[in-house]
Each structure stands twice: as structure tokens, then as C-alpha cells.
């Protein structure tokens, strides 16, 4: 079957509002550093009023990955819910102009387009406060079976477990993908997200609803409720068909059955804003994987993309990743 | 008289929508590279639809300068007109959270808050397409005489000549400032702006309505319709009381009567986005000037601020300029 897309990404459609903040601001706002906290509209307004001058850039975890794949020259599509409002227009403009196919109908009524208020501390770590808004309206009806069937990989974000109906959309997409002999990838998104849905996430791995899982070190440890990386990795090897584990400056590990491939992190000059590091890694890996470049090269492309986005404000690449990869001799 | 503000800045209140673009995109859109072109709402929508994924950051020339002065630790105020709409909220949030006093009433009716669609080419040059919107509603009534009288310097942008009534506000502010024995500064803003209002700008200098004028090399040459920098500088010396001329990587020149002070540009690693270079220079200079640090130190602070903002996307500093100046041994 001919593939129209390398990757179809399904996730929350979010615009990021990013400001620098000192550590004591996080303490005053009572937010857990490095995590993603869900907030309501009143809290969103309060945080925005208190935070510093902001940069507004489209985000959303799976959407960032789709944008990254397109930036590598891959064919990507995205499904996610915005409202027909100014912020929704920004999200749609940016993802479409990045070259990602995006046709999910915007909600006419209900809550506003989602925004994540991101606080970047001097160490470059990001702490996210997300108002899900219109994402709450994503349902099974937004999954077009033909699109799923035409994508080599359908990529799903764990954050979809937060809105009430999105996990139905998630499961529908996964089922259609497998019926069409396509693959399904999942990112665990966040260690607190893993904590909320540990049982379901592990069940998905065991049931082989997921062919490739992406996790960072914190999420992996949270999944198996251990502080020991090696034992967590061993547990993952026993449950997941195939996994990509990112470890920030310690690089990444790809595991499949008894195979283990370790890849160093790509060098950076200065960590500016860690927002989107995992999303960019997944973009590079999935681009390489769907091009048949092998795990090692795929992970190197992931490391390159992650290194690029963390040296600037915002989660999306601001240069063509295709060019960066060519300059690095990877493509 | 006690000064409540070091600088009161008066200008167009604009939010920037910034995207990278190739040179041929400028050609296709028929815009003059490096300039500021005024556009209507339909054109704004067309440019936005065609341009790439964007970063949204508050801007406006004089507003950027006010933000820069606050970032140095100076006391700054800003007068400019937004509409009470989402983009206006962004502008107000950012300038207030930067520490600038901003109390101009937002328009309830009429055109939307101004946006400038900025195209950044691979060489780092920026080309601006500005929809003035609510700025058209700035009038004399927005000038609070008490605020002007309490500012050491009232700083005005040449772009205020574009909206129909803003120049009345400009003249009123200048008159009040001088009546209160305060100083008035002006930036020429853009070489095309100089071309539109050359006669009036020169008349203001000769009439001493302006105590300090800021110009870049292109604006200076446009003012005197010559391609020769030295003869333009000589002409400016004859008309202006005091002038600061910026020359990009060639540094800056301060002139007053027979005095000439030349300052080199501050070193940069990579030019990312030239947007706001002149605004940041004016911020550093005016901060130093109002602190009584002398022309040379003031211009060095200007060069430092300019070097900072051109190494990142957007016109406003993303680190405290006070800290950068301390690290550089300038404060």
C-alpha cells in the first residue's frame, strides 16, 4: 500500500506562551519544576498576569514532532483540536506553513484554544502549566480512517489520556493503523502523566497496541516506580516491543528484544530552553525510521534535532532540520 | 524638580509576528528588504497566510526602547494605543511585566491592535510590514502633561508621523517637555520614513524641538539625500543640537557641536535577527545618558544592548540588560 504520510501525529493542539522565570517564581506559584501541570482558565489568567514578558510560539508535543518531521523533509500529518479563535488561527497557520497536513475541524463553541504557560528557569529547564481548552473536544469522530491507513506510523502522545474523549480517538487510531498493517508509536509525555495512567500505559505495551514507545529517563523510572535506571530499562525490555529512551545529556538508548543501541547526545553550546527536546528527538528518530535509515542513524537524527531546539526559545525548529542534518553529515 | 521617569517613550504600540523567509519570498511579496512598509488589514492577512511559522513577541520601536531602559534598571514609561483585544492584551502584559509604566487607555472600537509582520532573511536582516490598526487612534488626548513633565527625556519615534493624529500628540509632548525644562529625543525610525517626512524632520532639528536625535546610517543619508556618510554627518552637525548615529557593525558616532565620539560595535557570535537593533541602542544610550554616565559609556551600553537583541529572535531583550552590562564591566 502506498504511504501518503511517513507519520501521522495525534495530540493536543496547543500554543505556548513562554517566559523566563526565576526559581522562586515557581515556588511562589506552587508548580513542580520540570513537570506539566493542568490548569483551568482562571488559573491560566492568573499565571499569565504574574509571569514576565512572553514569546508566543505554537507547541503541543505531538504537533512539535510532526513539525520536526516536516522540517527534516518527511511527510507528516497532524490531528488535534483547536477552537475557531485567534489562538487557534495561530496554531493552524504555523503547523500548515511548516508543511504538515492538518485538517481537523476547529470547534465553533466551547472552551478556547489550548495554551501552555511555560516558565523557563535560568538553568534552561521548562515548567509547563497547560490549559487544555478546546482539546477537551477531540473525539473519535476526528479520526479519519483513510488518513491513518495511509501513514507508515501513527504517533500518539500520552497527554491524550488527560482530555475525557481523546483516548477513544487514540485507541481508534491505533486499531485502524494495525488493521492497515501500519505501526503505532507512543510517547509517555511526562512523568506525572505516567503516574496518572501507569496501569493503562503498561497494558498498552503488553497488548502490543504500541510498536515503538518513546520515554525519557524520568518517565521510565515513574512507569516502573523505581529510582534505578537499569532495572527500569530491563522491565521495559520485557514489556515493550521496541523502545527509545532519552537521557538528556547522557544520550539515548534504543532497545528491541536483546538488542541495545546507545547513542551519545549531540553537543550544544548553551542550553536556552529545554521545551520540546523530547518531541524533537522523536521527530528525528521517526523521520530516520520511516526512511529506513536504521536505529542508530535515526537516533542520531533525533539527538541532532533535540540539540537544535534546546538552544533557542520554543519547541519548534527555527531552521530546516534537513539542512542541519546535511551540515552534520547525517543526511 | 524630581524625576519620576528617566525616559517617557511615545510610539506605535505593535506586536511583532516574526518568521524566517528566503530572499525570493521578499521578491514575490514585492517588499523592499530592510524597510518598513505600511499595509492594510487585507494585505496583513495575505502576508500572514503566506509567511512561515511565526514567533509572536511584543514590539513597536519606542516601546522596545522603553522595555530596554527598564531592563537596564532605568525608570521608563510608554504611551501608545492598542485596542482592547487579545493582541492588545499581549502588548500591555509584556510592557507592564517588563517594568514599564503603561497606562494609555485601550480603544474600545475601531481597528484592531497593530501588528508588524516581520520577515527575517538568512543574513539576519529584517523586513517589516506593519498594519497600524489601533495606532491610528492615538491623539493629543493620550498625552498626560504630568507624566511628560516628570520624565527627564521624552523619546519620540519618527514612525508617529504615519498615523494622522499622532504627530499632534508628538508635538504636544515635546512642547510640555520643554516647558518643564526637560529634554526631547527623536529617532528617525526608517529611511523610507525619513523620505516621507524629510522636510518636517529637518525643521524639527533646526527649531530645536529635538535635543537628541537618533539615526542610523541609511536614515542619515536619506535625510540629506546623499550617498556620502561624511557629508551627511557634517550636514547633521549643522542642524542638530546633538545626534547619535549608528552604523551597524561599524559602531556608532555621537556628535555635538564640534565634539565627535566614535564607539565600536560590541562583538557578536552570530547575527540572528536584526529587529530592534536601533531601539536597543537607543535604550542603552538613553539609560546611560539619564544616569549621567557620559556619552561614551552611554553609547557603549547602547552597543551592548544592540548586540544582545540581534543574537536572538525578536526586538526585546530576553535577559536583564543590567546583568549583561555588569558582566561586561560597564555598570
Cell of A253: 538508548
For every residue of B221-268, DSSP letters joined together read HHHTT-S-HHHHHHHHHHH-SSEEEE-GGG-EEEEETTEEEEEPPPP-
Q: Report the pLDDT averaged over residues B240-261.
A: 97
The radius of gyration of chain A from alpha carbons, rounded to an integer in Å, stands at 18
Q: Which of B297, B175, B270, B45 shows the shortest CA–CA distance to A270? A: B270
Q: Does B118 touch chain A (CB under 8 A)?
A: no
Q: Does B21 touch chain A (CB under 8 A)?
A: no
Question: Does A93 contact B53 at a Cβ distance shorter than 8 Å?
Answer: yes
What local confidence, expressed as pLDDT, does residue B1 receive?
67
For every residue of A109-124, DSSP letters joined together read SSSPPEEEEEEE-TTS
Establish how many alpha carbons lie within 13 A of residue B305's alpha carbon, considering only the half-sphere containing its beta carbon.
Answer: 38
Q: What is the CATH architecture assignment of A5-11+62-111+133-327?
A: 3-Layer(aba) Sandwich (3.40)
Q: Which of B118, B128, B157, B162 shows the shortest CA–CA distance to B35? A: B128
What local confidence, expressed as pLDDT, does residue A1 receive?
67
Report which secondary-structure segment, H or E, holds A178: helix A166-179
Q: What is the per-residue pLDDT across B23-82, written as a single tens digit (0 to 9) for each?
A: 999 999 999 999 999 999 999 999 999 999 999 999 999 999 999 999 999 999 999 999
For residues A191 and A218, the answer to whether their CB atoms sit within 8 Å is yes
What local confidence, expressed as pLDDT, does residue A2 receive?
81
Question: Does A313 contact B316 at a Cβ distance shorter than 8 Å?
Answer: no
Alpha-carbon torsion A184, A189, A193, A198, what sign? positive
A-chain residue closest to B57, CA distance: A55
In angstroms, the CA A3 to CA B285 distance is 58
Question: Does A57 contact B52 at a Cβ distance shorter than 8 Å?
Answer: no
Nearest to B313 among A53, A97, A318 (CB): A318
Backbone region of residue B304 per phi and psi (left: phi > 0; alpha: psi in -120 to 50; beta: other values): alpha
- Which residues from chain B sit within 8 angstroms of residue A314, using beta carbons? 55
pTM of the predicted structure, to 2 decimals: 0.96
Cell of A261: 543501541
The Cα of B221 is separated from the nearest Cα of chain A by a number of Å equal to 34
Superfamily of domain B5-14+60-113+135-327: Ribokinase (3.40.1190.20)
Q: How does residue B297 score in pLDDT terms, banded at 50, 70 and 90?
A: very high
B-chain residue closest to A92, CA distance: B53
Q: What is the per-residue pLDDT across B203-248, written as a single tens digit (0 to 9) for each?
A: 999 999 999 999 999 999 999 999 999 999 999 999 999 999 999 9
In angstroms, the CA B151 to CA B182 distance is 7
For residues B81 and B62, the answer to whether their CB atoms sit within 8 Å is no
Backbone region of residue A310 per phi and psi (left: phi > 0; alpha: psi in -120 to 50; beta: other values): alpha
> Count of CB atoms within 10 A of residue B33's CB?
13
Question: Does B93 contact A48 at a Cβ distance shorter than 8 Å?
Answer: yes
Give whole-number Cα distances, A85 to A99, A111, A114, A237, B142, in Å: 21, 10, 11, 44, 31
Q: Does B71 touch chain A (CB under 8 A)?
A: no
What average pLDDT does chain B have?
97
Question: Does B95 contact A53 at a Cβ distance shorter than 8 Å?
Answer: yes
Q: How does residue B2 score in pLDDT terms, banded at 50, 70 and 90?
A: confident
The Cα of A79 is separated from the nearest Cα of chain B by a number of Å equal to 18
Which is more confident, B2 or B286? Answer: B286
Please name every residue paired with B19 in a beta bridge, in sequence order, or none if there are none.
B119
- pLDDT tens series, chain A, 331 aa: 688 999 999 999 999 999 999 999 999 999 999 999 999 999 999 999 999 999 999 999 999 999 999 999 999 999 999 999 999 999 999 999 999 999 999 999 999 999 999 999 999 999 999 999 999 999 999 999 999 999 999 999 999 999 989 999 999 999 999 999 999 999 999 999 999 999 999 999 999 999 999 999 999 999 999 999 999 999 999 999 999 999 999 999 999 999 999 999 999 999 999 999 999 999 999 999 999 999 999 999 999 999 999 999 999 999 999 999 999 999 9
Cell of A93: 497557520
In angstroms, the CA B282 to CA B290 distance is 12
What local confidence, expressed as pLDDT, does residue A31 receive?
93
Please name every residue paired with A155 in a beta bridge, in sequence order, or none if there are none.
A9, A185
For residues A71 and A322, the answer to whether their CB atoms sit within 8 Å is yes
Best interface-test mutation with A: which of B51, B52, B55 has the largest number of A CBs within 10 A?
B55
Nearest to A318 among B20, B57, B58 (CB): B20
The Cα of A129 is separated from the nearest Cα of chain B by a number of Å equal to 18
Best interface-test mutation with B: which of A55, A63, A317 has the largest number of B CBs within 10 A?
A55
For residues A18 and A57, the answer to whether their CB atoms sit within 8 Å is yes
Amino acid at each position: 500500500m502506498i504511504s501518503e504520510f511517513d507519520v501521522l501525529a495525534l495530540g493536543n493542539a496547543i500554543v505556548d506562551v513562554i517566559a523566563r522565570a526565576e526559581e522562586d517564581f515557581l515556588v511562589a506559584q506552587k508548580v513542580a519544576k520540570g513537570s506539566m501541570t493542568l490548569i483551568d482558565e482562571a488559573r491560566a489568567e492568573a499565571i499569565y498576569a504574574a509571569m514576565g514578558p512572553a514569546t508566543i510560539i505554537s507547541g503541543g508535543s505531538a504537533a512539535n514532532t510532526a513539525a520536526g518531521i516536516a522540517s527534516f523533509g518527511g511527510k507528516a500529518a497532524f490531528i488535534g483540536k483547536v477552537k475557531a479563535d485567534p489562538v487557534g488561527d495561530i496554531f493552524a497557520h504555523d503547523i500548515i506553513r511548516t508543511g504538515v497536513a492538518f485538517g481537523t475541524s476547529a470547534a465553533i463553541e466551547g472552551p478556547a484554544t489550548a495554551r501552555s504557560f511555560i516558565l523557563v528557569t535560568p538553568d534552561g529547564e521548562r515548567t509547563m502549566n497547560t490549559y487544555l481548552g478546546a482539546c477537551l473536544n477531540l473525539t473519535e469522530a476526528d479520526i479519519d480512517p483513510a488518513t491513518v491507513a495511509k501513514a507508515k506510523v501513527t504517533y500518539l502522545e500520552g497527554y491524550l489520556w488527560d482530555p475525557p474523549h481523546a483516548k477513544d480517538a487514540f485507541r481508534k487510531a491505533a486499531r485502524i493503523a494495525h488493521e492497515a498493517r501500519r505501526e503505532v508509536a507512543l510517547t509517555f509525555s511526562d512523568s506525572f502523566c505516567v503516574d496518572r495512567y501507569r496501569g493503562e500505559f503498561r497494558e498498552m505495551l503488553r497488548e502490543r497496541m504500541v510498536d515503538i514507545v518513546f520515554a525519557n529517563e524520568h518517565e521510565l523510572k515513574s512507569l516502573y516506580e523505581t529510582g534505578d535506571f537499569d532495572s527500569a530499562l530491563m522491565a521495559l525490555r520485557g514489556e515493550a516491543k521496541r523502545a527509545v529512551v532519552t537521557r538528556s545529556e547522557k544520550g539515548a538508548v534504543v532497545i528491541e528484544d536483546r538488542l541495545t543501541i546507545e547513542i551519545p547526545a549531540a553537543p550544544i553550546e548553551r542550553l536556552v530552553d529545554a521545551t520540546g527536546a523530547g518531541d524533537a528527538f522523536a521527530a528525528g528518530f521517526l523521520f530516520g525510521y520511516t526512511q529506513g535509515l536504521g536505529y542508530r542513524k535515526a537516533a542520531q537524527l533525533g539527538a541532532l534535532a533535540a540539540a537544535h531546539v534546546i538552544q533557542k526559545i520554543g519547541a519548534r525548529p527555527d531552521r530546516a532540520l534537513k539542512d542541519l542534518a546535511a551540515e552534520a553529515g547525517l543526511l
